[in-house]
Chain A
Amino acid sequence: MNLQPLTAKELEYIADSMSNEDLLIKQCTSAGLTCTNPQIRQVLQHQSQVHMQHYQALLNCLQQHQPLAPTQPQA
């Protein structure tokens, strides 16, 4: 596996993506409960699970890179 330390930009994108996925988990969960149309409800309930997996994947990515990060600013 080819791991390189995260750039500041990559860190921003991962953090923003976790915010996005978090919002989608909540949206799909509540919409999946209130939605009266059965087909839409089924899709939303399924997708809320997938967004939870996405969130976990992003979290894992962050954890994976944590040990590589320098503690001092690099020249």
Chain B
Amino acid sequence: MYAPQSQPFLPDEDLAHTVLSDLKRVTREYATAATESVCPTVRQQFTQLLNTTLAMQGELYNAMSQQKMYNAASPALKQEIDKQLKSYQSTQQKTNQFVQQRKSAAPGQSPQAFGDWAYQPAPQWQPPNNYM
């Protein structure tokens, strides 16, 4: 018995979910490909495909969410956030101490500012004069 012609192969929701999960997988694959590329042109191409695919995944997710096809995950509890916040603030403090201790052995470095989220590239590497 064949389904009547008007019956879709899969419900709308399943179709959209199938494409969405493939977009998620392909996003990860482009990220891996970009990090493992040697040729700068190839890396740039994969980076561009990564950005576009990520935008497409977001676009489809937003459409599905607007059409109530996606059950938003329930929000995390405040006490759970408090717990993680406390724990990782303490980790940060200990790590800062570690960094300061190691750096005090090699002075002359200015402390890093953390306010700016744009990535600042490392300074240009200057080999020492007796490098060769």
Contact = CB atoms under 8 A, between A and B. Distances in A.
Interface of A: 1-7, 9-10, 13-14, 16-17, 20-21, 23-24, 27-28, 30-31, 34-37, 39-40, 43-44, 47, 50, 54, 57-58, 61, 64-65
**A-side interface mostly:** helix
Contact of B22 (A3, A24, A30): A24
B16 A10 contact: no
Nearest to B61: A43
Interface in B30-70: 30, 32-33, 36-42, 45-46, 48-49, 52-53, 56, 59-60, 63-64, 66-67, 69
Contacts, number: 108
Contacts of A4: 38-41
11 contacts: A9-B36, A10-B39, A13-B36, A13-B46, A20-B25, A27-B19, A31-B15, A34-B15, A35-B8, A40-B12, A47-B56
Given A39-B67, A47-B60, A57 B12 contact: no
Interface of B: 8-10, 12, 15-16, 18-19, 22-23, 25-26, 29-30, 32-33, 36-42, 45-46, 48-49, 52-53, 56, 59-60, 63-64, 66-67, 69
Contact of B26 (A10, A20, A30): A20
A65 B19 contact: no
A57 B19 contact: no
A54 B49 contact: yes
B66 A61 contact: no
